Amino acid sequence: MKPLKRSARRSLLVAHVAVSVSWLGLTVGLLTLGITAFLTNDPTTAQAATRAMKIFGDWLVVPVALLSLLSGLVLALGTPWGLARHRWVWTKFWLTLLTATLSIFSLRPGINEAATRGAVDIDLVVAPSVATATYLFITAVSVLKPWGLTRRGRRLRRLAGAGKGVDERSTHRTA
């Protein structure tokens, strides 16, 4: 893919961060509603919480998950980070793909079933808990950028030369 121009890259980065933070917030909201529906003894409150979860699931889960995945993929392919050059980008991609798939094909049907019954079982507390922890991990990886280059990234760097600002004996930046 052709590298993105600076203005396009920056705009896409802002959009990606915004939609990814929205996905985290959506999941925290689903977790809060799931805990409320699971722990309450009031059937009216449980039913209201499951209906709210259904609205979030029907209107937000799919577009937010897919926009996060798509914007991250375009950023990876349109910048020097690449998709398979750095372990942190590769890890983020696979975790985002996995959580998007689970959100669309497992979480949404579970929410729909709970809304039909008007009650939540423990699965709709566990799933958003795991998703929230995963999104927080992905966020930390985005900020910290750990683990260095993949095997492909090292090979591409060797083919391109020693690399700007990198000591030939080390993959760590020297300046």
Instruction: Give tens-digit pLDDT for 99-155.
Output: 999 999 999 999 999 999 988 999 999 999 999 999 999 999 999 999 999 998 899
Q: What are residue 86's phi and psi, to 5 degrees? A: -120, 135
Tokens of residue 131, six digits: 């998703």
Tokens of residue 108, six digits: 């949404």
Report the C-alpha gap between 84 and 95 in whole angstroms: 14
Report the C-alpha gap between 111 and 56 in whole angstroms: 9
111, 54 Cβ separation under 8 angstroms: yes
Condensed to tens digits (0 to 9), the pLDDT of residues 139-174 reads 999 999 999 999 988 998 899 885 554 444 445 554
Cβ neighbours of 146 (radius 10 Å): 11
